[in-house]
Structures are given as C-alpha cells and as structure tokens.
C-alpha cells in the first residue's frame, strides 16, 4: 500500500500536468491533500478527476515558453488557490529522432525552449512567492539522458542536461532559504511519448535497464511527492535517479 505524504492546504503547480507523467504526479499530489493547478497546452484534465477532487484541481492553458502566458497563468492560479508552495516542472517534448548532423534547427530550438527555458520562466515567476513565505518545493523532471546523452535525440538530451544544471544553480542560490530545489532523472518510463519513436529504439532503451522493464508513471509520482514534502528538508540541488538500476553518475 502506498504511503501518502501530507500536503494538505498546499498549492502545487504541475506543468504538463494533464497527461503522462504529469497526470500521474497531479493525481498523487491531489491524493496527498494538495490543491493542484495544471498548466498544459495539450488539453485539460478529465471530468472524472474534476469530480473526484472537486474544488481542488484546475486546468489552465499555459504555454511555458511564453513569459506573458506564465505570468497570466500564475495570476489565475493564485486567484484560485492562493500562492504556490510547490512547482513541478514536468512539461516537455521529445523532439525528433535523428543524427545530430541531420537534426532540424527549428526542432532543436523548440525542444530547448520547452524543456529548459520553460522551467526557467516558471521558476523565475514562482520563486518570489515562495521567498515571501520562506518555504517552497521545486521539482524539475529531467532524464537519465541528461546524464549520459543518448544517440539520435541530441536536443532532448542537451535540454535535460541543462535542466540538471539549472537545478544545481537554483539549489545553491536558495540554500539558505526555506525553498528546496531538486531534480528527478527517470530512465525509460512508458508513456505516449514512446509511440513517436521507432520500435528498435524503444527496445534499445529497455535493454539498458537492469530490472528489465520500463518504469511506471506512478513510481515517478511517488518520488516527486516526497520531494514536495516538508520531510525533504536537507536535500537541495540534488539529482534523484529513477532508472531501474541504470546508474550513470
């Protein structure tokens, strides 16, 4: 049986929170008592989830790559649920699957905008609220690809490496405050994003995992929830591996 952390009364913002890993995280935080604002451009959360957690979850259409959209989304979220104590930077795109020398330049820019600039803009907007109360939890969802790089997805790997570095920088900058910033680096966790990749590439990913299976979205959500709790008080700027034994460094 899963053990739920206590997030009662806290307001969490989850980017990319209506599908995949973001949805699993949203559900876990709601089950832990939080109020959740999901920011997504791919659609809102289900009516069933709205009914189950009536009054505690709201879906907003926010493009995390746009400063004005982030500011507007934050203002609307604060009006609904008050200042945020939690930010989950989960929104991301995989980009195309191609050798670096054949990689489309616009796809490169778009991937870095969503996966790295987006978390920067969201953190920049939310941190002043957290500093005002001297408490906050920011969790960035990176990838094991950001640790070792992966062939054929250079933009994705580079953006996730940058997100690890952003986590470390923020962790040091905020270390003497009550705001903690950490990063999770999942390995291959089966979501819809895999449907865009060639099967032989997907097979190569699972072959790297000592456990011999893909991770589950619920397993990621459990780790994220703990990092959002007050118990995660002496970890900041840290990188938490979730890769089924595929340790890189």
**138-158 confidence digits (pLDDT tens):** 999 999 999 989 889 999 999
**Is 35 part of a structural domain of the chain?**
yes
Residue 238 inside a domain? The answer is no
What average pLDDT score do residues 108-137 get?
98
For residue 200, count other CB atoms closer than 10 A to its CB.
7
Q: Is residue 39 part of a domain?
A: yes
Is 225 inside any structural domain? yes
Domain-embedded: residue 40: yes
> What total of structural domains would you count in the chain?
1
| Domain that residue 185 falls in | 11-233
Task: Give the domain CATH number at 212.
Answer: 3.40.50.720
Residue 247 lies in a domain: no
pLDDT band at residue 249, thresholds of 50, 70 and 90?
Answer: low
Identify whether 156 is a catalytic site residue: yes
- Which one of the listed residues 135, 156, 201, 249 is annotated catalytic? 156
The verdict on residue 227 lying in a domain is: yes
- The stretch 190-200 carries a mean pLDDT of 76
84 occurs within a structural domain = yes
Q: Would you state the pLDDT for residue 39? A: 97
pLDDT over 70 (residue 1): no
């Amino acid at each position: 049986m899963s053990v739920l952390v206590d997030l009662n009364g806290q307001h969490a913002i989850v980017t990319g929170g209506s599908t995949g890993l973001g949805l699993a995280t949203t559900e876990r935080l709601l089950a832990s008592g939080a109020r959740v604002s999901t920011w997504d451009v791919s659609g809102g959360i289900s009516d069933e989830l709205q009914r189950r957690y009536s009054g505690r979850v709201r879906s907003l259409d926010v493009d995390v790559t746009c400063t004005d959209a982030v500011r507007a989304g934050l203002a609307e979220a604060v009006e609904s649920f008050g200042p945020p104590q939690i930010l989950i930077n989960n929104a991301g795109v995989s980009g195309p699957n191609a050798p670096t020398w054949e990689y489309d330049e616009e796809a490169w820019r778009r991937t870095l905008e969503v996966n790295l600039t987006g978390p920067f803009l969201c953190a920049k907007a939310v941190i002043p609220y957290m500093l005002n109360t001297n408490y906050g939890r920011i969790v960035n969802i990176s990838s094991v690809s950001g640790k070792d790089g992966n062939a054929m997805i250079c933009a994705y790997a580079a953006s996730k490496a940058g997100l690890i570095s952003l986590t470390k920088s923020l962790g040091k900058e905020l270390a003497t405050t009550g705001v903690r910033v950490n990063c999770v680096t999942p390995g291959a966790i089966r979501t819809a994003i895999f449907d865009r990749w060639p099967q032989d590439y997907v097979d190569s990913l699972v072959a790297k995992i000592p456990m011999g299976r893909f991770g589950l979205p619920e397993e990621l959500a459990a780790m994220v929830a703990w990092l959002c709790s007050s118990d995660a008080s002496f970890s900041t700027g840290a990188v938490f591996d979730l890769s089924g034994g595929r340790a890189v460094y």
